[in-house]
Structure 1
Amino acid sequence: MNDHKAFIEYLQIEKNASPYTVEYYQQDLKEFFSFLHQEGIQSLGDVDQQCVRLFLTTLYDHQLSRRSVSRKISSLRTFFRFLEREKLVETNPFMLVTLPKSPKPIPGFLYMEELEKLFEVNNVNDPLGQRNQALLETLYGTGMRVSECQNLKLRDVDFTIGTMLVRGKGNKERYVPFGSFAEKSLKTYIHDGRDQLLEKTGIHTDVIFLNSRGNPLTTRGIRTILKTMMEKAALTVNVHPHKLRHTFATHMLNEGADLRTVQELLGHENLSSTQIYTHVTKDHLRNIYLNSHPRAKSRD
């Protein structure tokens, strides 16, 4: 069963899958091949509906979440679709597998009062404080993913028109605007604090966000910085990069932005990915209704 190597190349070259996605596919395939070995199935062409049902049973016996099971089934469905295309199997036994849809969790977000506390904790006269402020303003001001922020280069930021070139999943590019707060903090950091951090290393880099040693920040480093800011602000909620992305989308919708616009800004391929943010705006919509509709509430 060495066909998975060709499949991984297909993911990397044709599908432009991220390293994280490829890693998940490899984990799922390894687990499935282990199952086939235990069942004495030596050929992928021998995998049938009964085999798939037995595999599903083993996944549930391991008490995996519905989300984890769905991901594994999706990975294997894609794998067998590739095998079909390459005429290595006749049918895709995972095509007919259906799992009950589980309710999507409502994404957490920060209220403006909580955000204001975060914006006040950094010492903007210090190189790391300038970096942290610029990092916070960029994540909240654009809604980009942490990996996109980590890879942001100096040449990607155009201050003349206030936009950033963001490289998202599958190397897809999109332009995202940013406002005056992000502009101010970025300019301060780039022309002051960043230069001081660069002096600590002889290596030149175009990456915007650097660590205390002058090297490019990692995604883990960005999460650690946000956690430190959260502790300084004495917030009781957990703050991580994706929560800032959720907050960006929620606040945009609350202030009247349409779904299509938010979809484009977030870099979502499907509108359904953006629609999860409409759930967290229902209270806002109800308040507007109660305060605006002539017969929404009693006048006595």
Structure 2
Amino acid sequence: MEYREKRKMILEMRGAKEELTMQSAINMFIKSRKLKNLTSNTTASYVQTLSKFTEFLEENEISKPNDVILEDVQEFIQTRMNLGNSAPTINKYIRSLRAFYNFLCSSGYITENPMEAIEKLVEEKRVLRTLSRDQVMALLAVPNRSTPAGHRNYVFMLLLLDTGMRLEEALSFRVEDVHWQERVIKVFGKGRVERLIPFSDVLGLNLREYLEIRGEGARGIFFVNIDGEPLKRRTIQEEISDYGQIASIKGVRVSCHSLRYTFARNYIMNGSDTISLMKIMGHKSLHMAQLYADMFPADLSKQHEKFSPISSLLN
């Protein structure tokens, strides 16, 4: 279909707002998100939320965006809460629905926005569990580094612990994105925002060693499977989780996220500042980076002991 025909169809749909179906509206919204060059994970999150919302509407015999009212959204939220969805999960649904209806309003498809009065749920402040030094050493001792997969997984865990990368970033950067002389890796984070993440000399040596096994002349995604294809998210998640069980690590769920948090904790406790941590980890504001500094009570106790005025006076 040529663009002129598509444009005519769009204008006709705007002229007949009452006839616009949920599925047609969702298709247009998802296409608009793809045109913004959002990551596939972000787009998939929108699709998942809108699919659940559409199922809820169909159960209540609602088929058009114009028929959705504030109370429908509130009932959907209550239904998800009854199903046991956590506050962060429901807030993700709310963000997706708000983006969807903002798009329909700004594009002229609807005039009433049922999301205007919807507020996010209050989330409990979570304590981020991190690995101790002994746990990190025990975890790193598990992979069989004499095998290509074991060596790859060892280096992958070193990468997360040394840089604090998100899992998707670690899985998607390419060989040519590693700038060896400057010791930085170029990644595309949330919202396709490019940033440079520094890495240590020790990690650099391990990355080069992995490339020798992988084939340094190869291009493309840095971490690959035995067939030379990009390493899958589920594969590395399951293998790191298995390593945690083999290492008998208790009190913390061993995952790619916990390795990222462990990096943040050690970065802060080694004396760095939240602004540089924010830049390295790809946060848009200081809020999340500040949370890292506030969530380690045991370490704060050590800091208090070190800098306490009373301790210094009486000692």
TM-score, normalised with respect to structure 2: 0.83
Equivalent position SS for 2:309: coil
Once the two structures are superposed, residues 112-156 of structure 1 have per-residue CA deviations (whole angstroms, 9 ceiling, x without a partner) of 111122233345454334323321211111111111111121111
Unaligned runs of 5+ residues in structure 1 are: 199-203
Shift of 1:225: 3.0
The reply on whether 1:52 has 2:67 as its aligned counterpart is: no
* Alignment check: 8 A CA contact 2:184 2:197 kept: yes
Q: Secondary structure at the match of 1:295?
A: helix
- How far apart, CA to CA, are the structure 1 residues paired with 2:40 and 2:102? 21
| Counterpart mapping for 1:52-131 below 5 A | 52-131=73-152
Return the letter of the residue paired with 1:195: G
AA matched with 2:310: R
Cα RMSD after superposing both structures = 2.5
Superposed counterparts of 1:274-289, under 5 Å: 274-289=289-304
**How far apart, CA to CA, are the structure 2 residues paired with 1:48 and 1:238?**
41
Equivalent residues of 1:104, 1:276 under 8 A apart? no
Residue in 1 that maps onto 2:240? 226
The 3 A distance-change label for structure 1 pair 51 and 128 is: closer
Aligned with 1:28 (options 40, 44, 49):
49
* Counterpart among 177, 186, 189 of residue 156 in structure 1: 177
Distance 1:47 1:285, change over 3 A: same
1:226 counterpart letter in structure 2: I
Map Cα deviations across residues 42-76 of structure 1 (whole Å, 9 max, x no partner): 43223222333333343334343333322222211
1:239 maps to 2:254: yes
Distance in 1 of aligned mates of 2:150 and 2:49: 41
Partner of 1:201: none
Give, in whole Å, the separation in 2 of the partners of 1:139 and 1:165. 14
User: Which residue of structure 2 aligns with residue 195 of structure 1?
Assistant: 215
| Alignment check: 8 A CA contact 2:163 2:280 kept | yes
SS in 1 for 2:295: helix
Deviations 1:226-276 (CA, angstroms, capped at 9, x unpaired): 234334433334321111111111111111221111111111123223233
Q: 1:133 to 1:61 in 2, by over 3 A?
A: closer
Aligned to 2:11: none
Q: Give the Cα–Cα distance (whole angstroms) in 2 for the partners of residues 20 and 228 of structure 1.
A: 25
Q: Give structure 2 stretches of 5+ with no counterpart.
A: 1-20
- Against the structure 1 CA distance between its residues 132 and 37, is the aligned structure 2 distance closer, same or farther, given a 3 Å change threshold? closer
**Range with bigger deviation, 77-86 or 116-125:** 116-125
SS at match of 2:186: strand
- Cα displacement (A) at 1:163: 0.9
Shift of the alpha carbon at 1:109?
A: 0.9
Q: Do the aligned partners of residues 129 and 52 (structure 1) sit closer, same or farther apart at CA in structure 2, a change above 3 Å counting? A: closer
Q: TM-score, normalised by structure 1?
A: 0.87
Q: Distance in 2 between matches of 1:82 and 1:221?
A: 36
Q: Is the 8 A contact 1:142 1:248 kept in 2?
A: yes
Q: Residue 130 of structure 1 contacts residue 188 of structure 1 at CA under 8 Å; is this kept in 2? A: no
Aligned with 1:161: secondary structure?
A: coil
2:155 aligned partner, one-letter code = A
Q: Which deviates further from its counterpart, 134-143 or 53-62?
A: 53-62
- Secondary structure of 1:10's partner? helix
Q: Give the corresponding residue for 2:308.
A: 293
Q: Would you say how many aligned residue pairs link Structure 1 and Structure 2? A: 292
Change in 2 beyond 3 A, CA 1:83/1:139:
same
Q: SS in structure 2 opposite 1:110?
A: coil
- Corresponding residue of 2:274: 259
Within 1, Cα distance between the matches of 2:51 and 2:295?
38
Shift in Å, 1:157 = 0.9
Q: Secondary structure at the match of 2:231?
A: coil
Residues 1-29 of structure 1, C-alpha deviations (whole Å, 9 max, x = no match) = 11111100121222x33222222222222
Q: Secondary structure at 1:89's aligned position in 2?
A: coil
Q: Judging changes above 3 Å, is the alpha-carbon distance between structure 1 residues 52 and 127 closer, same or farther for their aligned structure 2 residues?
A: closer
